[in-house]
Structure 1
């Protein structure tokens, strides 16, 4: 299979690999930071009243893995297309988004507070909109790669809200 080169933004192969590697490492670090809050609290989670439309436990890993991959791709792709101050703003937006993503796990699982986590996931949704808008200006391919991630986060917000409402004394 032959991959077409992008001649509109010439960069060395080393630079492209570096951009994607840095993006992948940042996303993996956020995923690892978030997962540290989950493992010791899975029993607490199972004790909650969950909605009937709650996905099975295996679905979260099956969904988050490709979503994190698409987020890493978008970060690496866009960081090579966006220049100057816009690039700095994009990287700050991406970093904020990753922090909010990891932070949700700490609010929900470590603090065991679905209501605080609901605030966190709404902030993540706002961050997703801002990140997609910023990315679309310079790199529509990367922006399109962010849509499934944003859609799943909206689903997660609905799930979080349902859990918070079903478990009012858990805050």
Structure 2
């Protein structure tokens, strides 16, 4: 494949990942107010941390998907890309469940499913392009932290979540 065809594909993956971010962000318009009302664990980061972290993670996710897409004719690449897209959907849904709909239990289930899909994506990407799988490890680490944070918030805020 020529390098000139690689750049538009990367741009498409960036657009897809940041469209996911945008869809999730639409649910968080009132998040600063809601987040401030929550009783959070002492280890919970300030709300201002989430935007920069997610920006880096979505960029890395797009690059990882693009790297696998470049080898889309490899055995299992279609499944790997499909699972990646599915986890994007579950990722965007979480913000709606937690921030817009205030459903703590469902948000926790959602984030556990997301975590499992990220693990599956990493394992599938590893078979096709190990460096792409490694690019998703920070995402898995952040979602692992977010899972603990979501569980803690749900348990500490039964009236709000």
TM-score normalised by length of structure 1: 0.89
- Any idea what SS the aligned residue of 1:53 has? coil
Count how many residue pairs are aligned between Structure 1 and Structure 2: 161
Deviations 1:56-89 (A, max 9, x none): 1211112111111110110111111242562221
Query: Where does the alignment leave 5 or more consecutive residues of structure 1 unmatched?
Result: 1-10
How far is the alpha carbon of 1:113 from its aligned partner?
A: 1.4
1:106 aligns with 2:106: no
* Match runs of 1:59-70 below 5 Å: 59-70=49-60
Partner of 2:61: 71
Partner of 1:127: 117
User: Contact 1:21–1:76 (CA<8 Å) still a contact in 2?
Assistant: no
Q: CA RMSD in A?
A: 1.3
d(CA) in 1 for partners of 2:9 and 2:101? 34
TM-score, length basis structure 2: 0.95
Q: Does 1:54 align with 2:41?
A: no
Q: Which of these residues, 1, 23, 29, is aligned with residue 33 of structure 1?
A: 23
Contact 1:82 1:139 in 2 (8 A): no
Do 2:14 and 2:62's aligned partners in 1 also have CA atoms closer than 8 Å?
Answer: yes
The one-character-per-residue Cα deviations of 1:104-160 (angstroms, maximum 9, x if unpaired) are 000001101122111110000000000000000010010000000011000000000
Quick check: 110-119 or 121-130, which moved more? 110-119
Structure with larger Rg? 1
Structure 2 residue runs of 5 or longer lacking an equivalent are: none
